[in-house]
Amino acid sequence: MTTTTVKDPKHYPALRNLQFSPIKEGEEQYIVLWDPTGLSKERLVLPLNYFFIIQHFDGEHSLQQVGALYLKRFGEFLMPDKVDELVADLDRKLFLEGERAEEARREQRAQYRESPLRPAAFAGRAYEADGAKLKKQIDGFFTSKEGPDFKPSENAGKPIKGLVAPTYDLKQAGPIYAWAYKQLQEATQPDVYIVLGTAYAGLDNLFAVTDKDFETPMGVVKADRPLLNAIRARFPVAFEEDLCHQAEHAIEFQLPFLQDIVGRKKPFTIVPVLCSFSALSVSEPAVLQQVVAFLDGLMEILKADGRSYCVIAAGELAHLGMRYGDKEPPTDFSFHRSMQHDLEMLKPVEELKADEFANYIIKEQDQRRISGFAPIFSLLRLIEAEKGEVLRYDRGITDQYNSTVTYASMAFF
The DSSP string of 104-148 is HHHHHHHHHHH-SEE--SSBTTTB-SSHHHHHHHHHHHHHSTTS-
Q: Within a 10 A sphere around the Cβ of 121, how many other Cβ atoms?
A: 16
User: Across the chain, which distance is largest between two alpha carbons, in Å?
Assistant: 73
- Residue predicted with more confidence, 405 or 4: 405
Residue 63's Cβ-count burial label (10 Å; 0-12, 13-18, 19+) is buried
How does residue 47 score in pLDDT terms, banded at 50, 70 and 90?
very high
Percent of the chain with pLDDT over 70: 99
Query: Poorest-confidence range of 30-34, 234-238, 304-308, 312-316?
Result: 30-34
Of the candidate CATH numbers 3.90.1150.10, 3.40.830.10, 3.60.15.10, 3.40.50.1370, the domain formed by 117-412 belongs to: 3.40.830.10
At 88-145, the pLDDT tens digits run: 999 999 999 999 999 999 999 899 989 989 999 999 999 999 999 999 999 999 999 9
Residue 81's Cβ-count burial label (10 Å; 0-12, 13-18, 19+) is exposed
Q: Within a 10 A sphere around the Cβ of 82, how many other Cβ atoms?
A: 11
3 state SS of 65: helix
At 260-300, the pLDDT tens digits run: 999 989 999 999 999 999 999 999 999 999 999 999 999 99
Domain ranges of the chain: 19-106, 117-412
Quote the DSSP letter at residue 329. P
Mean pLDDT, to the nearest integer, of 62-66? 93
At 172-226, the pLDDT tens digits run: 999 999 999 999 999 999 999 999 999 999 999 999 999 999 999 999 999 999 9
Which helix (H) or strand (E) segment holds residue 89: the answer is helix 80-92
CA distance 185 to 258: 9
pTM, 2 dp:
0.90
Cβ partners under 8 Å of residue 159, min gap 6 = 187, 188, 190, 308, 413
Mean pLDDT, to the nearest integer, of 382-393? 96
CA-based nearest residue to 254, from 149, 389, 164: 164
Contact between 35 and 18 (Cβ < 8 Å): yes
CA distance 105 to 244: 11
32-35 long-range contacts (CB < 8 A, ≥24 apart) are: 33/95, 35/94, 35/95
Instruction: Tell me the average pLDDT of the chain.
Output: 94
pLDDT confidence of residue 25: 86
3 state SS of 403: coil
How does residue 26 score in pLDDT terms, banded at 50, 70 and 90?
confident
CA distance 191 to 270: 9
How does residue 5 score in pLDDT terms, banded at 50, 70 and 90?
low
How does residue 6 score in pLDDT terms, banded at 50, 70 and 90?
low
CA distance 121 to 2: 47
